[in-house]
Amino acid sequence: MGVLNIGNALPQSLVPIAAPALLATGGGRNYGALFLFGAIAAVLGAPAVQFIRSVR
């Protein structure tokens, strides 16, 4: 349950730090960069789930 909690809480802690930096590129209203970064993170994170072999 600890790993599940970290998996849920860590992104919510890191996004408020990373989002202003992504929005600042392009004059402060660059939501395209923010959504592109989210899409890239999702595409890179999806294959990582394949390495989970089983649940105890």
Q: At what angle do helices 31-45 and 2-24 cross, to 10 degrees?
A: 150
Helix, strand, coil percentages (3-state) for the chain, rounded to 5, are: 75, 0, 25
Closest CA to 30 of 21, 39, 40: 21
Task: Indicate the DSSP class of residue 47.
Answer: G
pLDDT at position 55? 74
Tell me the pLDDT tens digit for each residue of 2-53. Answer: 888 988 899 889 999 989 988 888 787 889 888 998 999 899 988 988 887 8
Q: Are 29 and 23 in contact (CB under 8 A)?
A: yes
Look-up of token digits 């402060």: 28
